[in-house]
C-alpha cells in the first residue's frame, strides 16, 4: 500500500509499504489532516515512521469514523483525575502504521455523519484536543497566542461558551482581534509567545499551555500569583463531543490535496499559506 514514510534524514516521501498487521481492524483511510506535531517529527529520529493522527477511515459497511490515536484506560488514578494523556496506557499508539497511508489498523473510533465532506471528519481529533483544553480556561477575557488552526478552534469554542476572545500571531496574515487591555487567561497555542502571555495576563490570571511554548519564568508566576495549566491531546469522550459540535461549527476550510501531493501540502503548511492541510486518498 502507499504511505508517506519519513526518510533516513527526516525527509518524507510517498512510498510502498507492507499492509499493517497486529491488533485492531484493518480500515481504508479516507482522509488525514497534517498537524504541526507531525511536521516536528520529520527528522532522522523518526526515520521509517508513517505519521498522521487526524484520520477519517471507512468501515467495511461503509460507515465513516474518526480514529482515536491513543487511548487512556479510564480507570487509573490519573485518568480519574482528568489527566488522561498521562495515563500509562496512553503512550501506546492505537493506529498502525499511521494515518498518512491507504490502510490502517485501528482499535477505537467515533462515527462521523455520512454527509460530511472528507476533510471535515479529520477535524474531530484536533477539536477534541481543544475541547479538553478549553475546559481548563477560566471564564472571562481570554487571549489566544498563536492564531493558526488550533488557535482558531480555541477561539470558536471559547466564544461559543461566552468568553471574550482576543488573538495574536507573529504572522500578520493570522492576526485576530487584538486585546484592548489585560486578560483573565491566555492560551499558548503555538511555539513561543510566553512574553506576550505574561505581558497581557492579569495578576492572579491563568496561562493554559497547549504547546511547546518555551520557558515560563518562575519569578513572574510567583510574584503575580499566576496559575499555569498544561493540557495535551484528547480523550475519547471529547471525540464524541467534537463530532456533535462540528455539525454547525464554522471551522476554517482546509487546503485539500491527494496524498500523492504530500510534498506540495507540506510546503503550504511550512510557508503558512494554508491554515490547515488535509490529504485525501
User: Per CB under 5 A, does 34 bind Zn ion?
Assistant: no
Tell me the site size for Zn ion, rule CB under 5 A. 7
Cβ proximity to Zn ion, 32 vs 79, nearer residue: 79
Interface pick for Zn ion out of 31, 35, 165, 274 (rule CB under 5 A)? 35
Name the minimum Å distance from CB 37 to Zn ion.
5
Name the minimum Å distance from CB 90 to Zn ion.
7
User: Per CB under 5 A, does 130 bind Zn ion?
Assistant: no
Enumerate long-range contacts of 23-26, CB under 8 Å, 24 or more apart. Answer: 23/105, 23/107, 24/94, 24/96, 24/105, 24/106, 24/107, 25/59, 25/105, 25/106, 25/107, 26/103, 26/104, 26/105
How many whole angstroms separate alpha carbon 225 and alpha carbon 220? 8
Report the helix count and the strand count for the chain, using DSSP H and E. 8, 15
Cβ proximity to Zn ion, 79 vs 134, nearer residue: 79
User: Per CB under 5 A, does 47 bind Zn ion?
Assistant: no
Q: Are strands 64-67 and 141-145 parallel, antiparallel or unpaired?
A: unpaired
User: Per CB under 5 A, does 71 bind Zn ion?
Assistant: no
Name the minimum Å distance from CB 39 to Zn ion.
10
Cβ proximity to Zn ion, 92 vs 215, nearer residue: 92
| Biggest CA-to-CA distance, the chain | 59
User: Per CB under 5 A, does 94 bind Zn ion?
Assistant: no
Amino acid at each position: 500500500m502507499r504511505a508517506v514514510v519519513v526518510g533516513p534524514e527526516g525527509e518524507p516521501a510517498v512510498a510502498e509499504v507492507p499492509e499493517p498487521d497486529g491488533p485492531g481492524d484493518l480500515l481504508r483511510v479516507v482522509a488525514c489532516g497534517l498537524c504541526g506535531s507531525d511536521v516536528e517529527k520529520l527528522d532522522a529520529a523518526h526515520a521509517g515512521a508513517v505519521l498522521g493522527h487526524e484520520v477519517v477511515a471507512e468501515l467495511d459497511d461503509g460507515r465513516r469514523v474518526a480514529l482515536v490515536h491513543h487511548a487512556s484506560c479510564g480507570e487509573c488514578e490519573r485518568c480519574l483525575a482528568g489527566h488522561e494523556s498521562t495515563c500509562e496506557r496512553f503512550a501506546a499508539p492505537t493506529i498502525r502504521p499511521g494515518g498518512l497511508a491507504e490502510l490502517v489498523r485501528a482499535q477505537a473510533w467515533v462515527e462521523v455523519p455520512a454527509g460530511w465532506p472528507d476533510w471535515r471528519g479529520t477535524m474531530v481529533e484536533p477539536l477534541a484536543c481543544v475541547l479538553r483544553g478549553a475546559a481548563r480556561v477560566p471564564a472571562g477575557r481570554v487571549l489566544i497566542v498563536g492564531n493558526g488552526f488550533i488557535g482558531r478552534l480555541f477561539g470558536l469554542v471559547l466564544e461559543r461558551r461566552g468568553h471574550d476572545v482576543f488573538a495574536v500571531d507573529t504572522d500578520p496574515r493570522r492576526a485576530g482581534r487584538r486585546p484592548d487591555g489585560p486578560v483573565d487567561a491566555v492560551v499558548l497555542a503555538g511555539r513561543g509567545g510566553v512574553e506576550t502571555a505574561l505581558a497581557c495576563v492579569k495578576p492572579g490570571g491563568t496561562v493554559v499551555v497547549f504547546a511547546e511554548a518555551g520557558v515560563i519564568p518562575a519569578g513572574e508566576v510567583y510574584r503575580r500569583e499566576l496559575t499555569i495549566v498544561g493540557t495535551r491531546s484528547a480523550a475519547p469522550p471529547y471525540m464524541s463531543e467534537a463530532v456533535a459540535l462540528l455539525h454547525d461549527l464554522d471551522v476554517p476550510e482546509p487546503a485539500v490535496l491527494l496524498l500523492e501531493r504530500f510534498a506540495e501540502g507540506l510546503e503550504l503548511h511550512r510557508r503558512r499559506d494554508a491554515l490547515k492541510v488535509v490529504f485525501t486518498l
